[in-house]
Amino acid sequence: MTITTADGVQLPAILSYPASGLNPTGPVLIHLLDGPGVSAARAGEPARFVANALARRGYTSLTLEPRYARSYPFSRFDEGVTDVRAAVEMLSVRGFSSIVLTGHGLGSLLAVRYVAETDDARIKALAHFAPSPDLAAFWRAKLGSQKYAAFVETASKAVTEPGRGDFIDLGDGLIFTPASFLDWLGPTAKTSLTASISGVARPMFFAAGDKDISVPKGRLEQLKSLSLFAKQTELKAYAADHDFAGAHDALNSDVAKWLSKLGLVPAPKVLTTLVDATAADGTPLAGVLYAPATGSNPAKPAFLMIHGWTGDIMRSSSHWLGQRLAQKGYTAFALQVRSSGFRGVVGGKLEDTPQDIAAWVTFMAARGYRQLIAEGHSTGGLWISNYVSQTKDPRIKGVVYLAPMRDMPKHARLAMGEDRYARTVVEAEEAIRDGKGATTLIDARFPQPAYDEDPRQPMFLPLPGSGFTYYYADSFLSYWGPGARSVHTQRVADVKVPILALGGSRDPLTQGAHLIDFTEAAGKNAGYIFYGGRTGATNSFEGFEGRVVDDIVVWMDKTFK
């Protein structure tokens, strides 16, 4: 296959996957080649035998041929970061979210440079096969200090003059323009694995052959000592050369064991089905059903998931929740309401959502699911609270809230200020009185509100952003008006089932120890999990998806034995 980078470079790549097909819900490996000037199809290339062996174990792999395989004489080394990003994005749009970078020789340096430059949360671990030496130091030693210094002097002078300058020839086909030589091998080049690896906070795997002169004795131990995840970092030495000839099976087995220890194993397959329902007033609705490929068990509680504000079933937390819950053996259903999507929010009203949820509860009951755990993200949680508080539906056995919505009228007052809020309410009320509630757009400033800091749940937030309202008058009053049913602490107090609320320290919605106040309002059956610290969870829970699902499953096991 061919991958095109953001700057238009086309790169060849090899996609290896199990005979059963791609499984994007599991981890994927990106293999980066040695080099420069090495082909992905080279006989003996570790990426080939490792990818094939892992495919037989259920893993998908992408072997990428970075631009340094062809254009190294003219390229900067860190242009390879753009190449890796293109591969990561290509896999990401295909559903892969857990990625392991592996690199052979020079590829190990590129893997580290990518993470050091981007800190891409999708990269979960790195594996180094015959890890790269520090290039400038290596070539200074190989050439001798005098010859190396002469090359540096020649190249440094050439880059100040017009034109390309003469090639620097290191022998064996390794030629560089003066600028590329300095970027790759100069005294200030960013091509030291030792210097770059200390800033990479990921589990790592280091492997080398005892006959490989590019990895001297003690090198693996030195690199491990620099790892920020030393306890999750493994070293393996083999009776082998740079390409691990004679040690393929052992290396394949050790890599698979290391991945397994990290929990980066092929995930169970999930079946997804698009379905439809109709609300009592005839409104058509769509949903996505996630189920274990091994079969569903209607006797087991199933999840009913509702996205947040302006979200939808195809672009929200419901997707990653549904996938992961189904992998854990649960059936999960992502439902649409008439207020789904941005357009739905502009004109939707809180009082209309219960009939939509009721249609989906009935839909699931008709398929044998009569024990439902409702899950709502942000405003989706309010829709659930409003439904359960009104209907007391006995089929809802528990509720999970992700970043539960606050009391919306109070939130609006704090954001807009009392005067602007009062004027906006009057504007909306007058529009409704004139019969224009469904057509008069309320467009007012709505900055991100700031709540008093509470030391029980310290927050780490960016500077408050600006914002605005984008609702028709009747929709605005339905959610933000002084008499709205959107005082969430009141609604959740009427939800008399077990509750779990989750939030994080980088979500403005959870300021002021909101999770504590929310669960206290809910009563004794409610608990919370706060992902705190400077790197805590945001409102989207990006990077916390696995932890969120694991914590939900633990809560399920404790609560519904």
Confidence at residue 95, expressed as pLDDT on a 0 to 100 scale: 83
Pair 153, 293 in one domain: no
504's enclosing H/E stretch is strand 499-504
Alpha-helical runs (H) found in 227-287: 248-261
Total structural domains within the chain: 3
What gap in Å lies between CA 384 and CA 390, rounded to an integer?
10
Low-confidence residues of the chain: pLDDT under 70: none
Pair 89, 179 in one domain: no
Q: Among the three residues 201, 229, 261, which one is the final residue of a domain in this structure?
A: 261
Q: In which domain, by residue range, is 375 found?
A: 270-407+487-559
CATH number at residue 393: 3.40.50.1820
Residue count (the chain)? 561
Model confidence pLDDT, tens digit, residues 234-262: 999 999 999 999 999 999 999 999 999 99
Confidence at residue 159, expressed as pLDDT on a 0 to 100 scale: 93
Of the candidates 274, 304, 276, 273, which has an alpha carbon nearest to the alpha carbon of residue 291?
273
* Alpha-carbon distance values, 463 to 309, 460, 466, 508 (Å): 21, 10, 10, 10
What gap in Å lies between CA 36 and CA 385, rounded to an integer?
59
Confidence at residue 38, expressed as pLDDT on a 0 to 100 scale: 86
Question: Chain-centre distance of CA 503, in angstroms?
Answer: 16
Pair 206, 116 in one domain: yes
Q: Is residue 7 in some structural domain?
A: yes
Pair 124, 240 in one domain: yes
What gap in Å lies between CA 539 and CA 308, rounded to an integer?
10
CB hemisphere CA count around 344 (13 angstroms): 21
Q: What global pTM score does this model have?
A: 0.75
What gap in Å lies between CA 340 and CA 418, rounded to an integer?
29
What gap in Å lies between CA 241 and CA 234, rounded to an integer?
19
Model confidence pLDDT, tens digit, residues 258-286: 999 999 999 888 999 999 999 999 999 99
Confidence at residue 83, expressed as pLDDT on a 0 to 100 scale: 98
Q: Among the three residues 232, 261, 290, which one is the final residue of a domain in this structure?
A: 261
Q: Is residue 217 in some structural domain?
A: yes
Q: Among the three residues 204, 234, 261, which one is the final residue of a domain in this structure?
A: 261
Q: Is residue 474 in some structural domain?
A: no
Confidence at residue 463, expressed as pLDDT on a 0 to 100 scale: 85
